[in-house]
Amino acid sequence: MVGYLVYLTISAATYGIFCLGLNLQWGFTGLINFGHVAFMTVGAYATVLLSSQGVPLLLSLAIGAGCAALLGLLIGLSTLRLREDYLAIVTIGVSELVRLVALNEEWLTRGAFGVQGYPLPLGGFRPNQVGKIALIFWLTIIAIFAVWQLWRGLRWRWKKLKKQEKSGLGVVVWGILGGGIITSLFINGCIALQNYNYKAGLMLLSVIALTLVYAGLEYLVQSPWGRVLKAIREDEEIPRALGKNVFWYKLQAFMLGGAIAGGAGSFYAWQLTNVYPANFDPLVTFNAWTIVVLGGAGTNPGTLIGALIFFAYDSLTRFVLPQLNLVDDARLGALRVMVIGLILMVLMVWRPQGILGNKDELTLGK
């Protein structure tokens, strides 16, 4: 059970990083990217191929993120001056192009055989008891930060509801649920680190990376730069009239979101331990959009909540649906995707701004 929860934590953290990049592009800037997986693919392959040649892992990760940002630059220079639908179409094509290059250019990516046997972070690390306590200490710091962020968000929501003279029952429920999730993940993480293996180390690294990316984006989107992005999302003519270079801001957001997705690709490759082109099909982008829409576009905490809910759903349906005998095993995967689509349709009717989205702020041009 502990091992499976470690797997879920790594997956949720990796997708959380990946979706924070998409949320920066779409949720805060209004850029429609239906090929977000292309950035993850570039980051993953660049990291594992470079590290296989002896490049240090941290430098490989940075170069992978840089290559993903370069891809964002190339796409952005050719499309961001056009309408949003052109960007959506181009990103779909680019994601398939990148996947086909990974599949067919065997001299570089080893094709369908994939890249295997590459160095892994903390792969040979064997901590003693003092080292395990140090790892648990860092996990504790992250848990405290998560509780602080939860408390700050709930306090803001409570004050807003009281001003509107509405019930704060939902805030209490979310506080109990969020606190329970953080506590359970923290306890499971401590147990995993005490019985250390490679996956436990990767769990800690992925959670640390998620914390750094989240904190950095929270700072950026609340800065003057982030307010310009929000203005562009709502009506780009207004910041343009105020003398802002709208194209340059769009390009910055698109490249930064791509770099974040490229970094997520590195952790995705380290989790898989073997990288194949089939790992980067369009369903990965669909999952990212599901997470962002579910949690609430234009809110970083909502993206993390969406990632947790998505993987909780993934775990439940992976074990519960086969017991119901609704369909055979060959159609089970399609049924799970259909159920996700149904949940999204219900959510769009019940709460179109997502779980934590701010309907008053997030209009996306409407």
201 belongs to a structural domain:
yes
Gyration radius from the chain CA atoms: 21
What average pLDDT score do residues 216-228 get?
Answer: 93
pLDDT at 362 over 60: no
170 belongs to a structural domain:
no
295 belongs to a structural domain:
yes
136 belongs to a structural domain:
no
- Mean pLDDT comparison of 75-89, 140-154, 205-219, highest-scoring range: 205-219
Structure confidence at residue 21 (pLDDT): 95
182 belongs to a structural domain:
no
| CA–centroid distance for 25 within its chain | 12
Looking at residue 80, the DSSP 8-state letter turns out to be T
Structure confidence at residue 61 (pLDDT): 96
355 belongs to a structural domain:
no
209 belongs to a structural domain:
yes
Structure confidence at residue 366 (pLDDT): 46
> How much is the pTM?
0.91
365 belongs to a structural domain:
no
- Are 135 and 129 spatial neighbours (Cβ–Cβ below 8 Å)? no
Cα distance between residue 70 and residue 247, in whole Å: 16
Report the domain count for the chain.
Answer: 1
316-361, pLDDT tens digit by residue? 777 777 777 777 766 777 777 788 778 778 877 777 777 776 666 5
Residue 290 belongs to domain spanning: 2-126+196-350
Cα distance between residue 76 and residue 20, in whole Å: 19
- Mean pLDDT comparison of 147-161, 199-213, 233-247, 339-353, highest-scoring range: 199-213
pLDDT at 364 over 60: no
Tell me the residue type at 236.
Answer: E
- Percent of the chain scored above 70 by pLDDT? 94
Mean pLDDT for the chain?
Answer: 87
User: Domain of 85: which CATH number?
Assistant: 1.10.3470
Higher pLDDT residue, 357 or 70? 70
